[in-house]
Chain A
C-alpha cells in the first residue's frame, strides 16, 4: 500500500462513551504497533503485534484499552468508557523485519482523540 493509514483522523467523544480507532498497515508488514502521544509528551507504547504471535500488551494503561488485529492486517484499538485523560493522538506504525537490522517503523498520521 501507499503507507500506513488511520481512521478517523479526528474523533470527539463524550466521557463514558466507547471509541474504536482503526489502522491499516503497509501491505505485507507483519509487525504493527500502537502508541499514544499526549500533549508535550513522547510516545507511549501501547501494544505490539507480530505475525501470529501473541501480542505484547504490556503498554496498555488499563483494562479499558484493548486491541485486535484481524487476518494479520488491519488493527482496531478500542477504548471503553473513555475518560478525559484519554485525550491524545493515537499513532499506529508498521514494519517488516529486515534480517540483521532492526526494522524501520512507518507511522500513520494518527487519530486525534478528544474526550469532553
Chain B
C-alpha cells in the first residue's frame, strides 16, 4: 500500500535554511510533489520532481530525492517569515490514477 509520512513540526530562525523531510513506501512512485498551505488558504503547488531525477532546484527551493531510501526533502534557503506555512509532500504512482497521496503536512514556524 501507499503511505507518505512527514514530521509534524519544524521551527527555524529567520535567515537559516529549512529542511523538510518526507518518506514514502511505494517504490512505483512517478511524481513527488511539495505543496504549501498558508493559513485559511488552499494548497499551492511549490514544485514537483519526476522519480528518475535526484535533484531539482528552483530559486530558494531545492528538492532532493533518494529513491533507494524512499526519502524526499525540501530545502528552503534563507527562510523568511513569509515561508511559515504547512508543507505537504505527495506522490502519484505509475500505472495508477491521477489522485495523489498526501502526507499529513509539516508546520514550518519561522521566528526572528
Contact = CB atoms under 8 A, between A and B. Distances in A.
For chain A, which range describes its interface: under 10, 10 to 19, 20 to 34, or 35 or more residues?
20 to 34
B42 A40 contact: no
Given A102-B30, A102-B31, A45 B43 contact: no
B42 A107 contact: yes
A41 B104 contact: yes
Given A33-B99, A43-B88, A104 B45 contact: yes
Contacts of B103: 42
B98 A103 contact: yes
Interface in B74-100: 88, 90, 92, 97-100
Contacts, number: 55
Interface string B38-55: 001111110010100000
B102 interface: yes
B97 A48 contact: yes
A31 B99 CA distance: 10
A42 B41 contact: no
A109 B88 contact: no
Given A42-B104, A105-B45, A48 B99 contact: yes
A56 B42 contact: no
A102 B42 contact: no
Contacts of B42: 4, 91, 93, 107-110
Interface of A: 4, 31, 33, 40-43, 45, 48, 50, 56, 59, 91, 93, 95, 97, 101-110
Given A4-B42, A102-B31, A103-B98, 7 more contacts: A33-B99, A43-B88, A101-B31, A104-B45, A106-B45, A108-B42, A110-B41
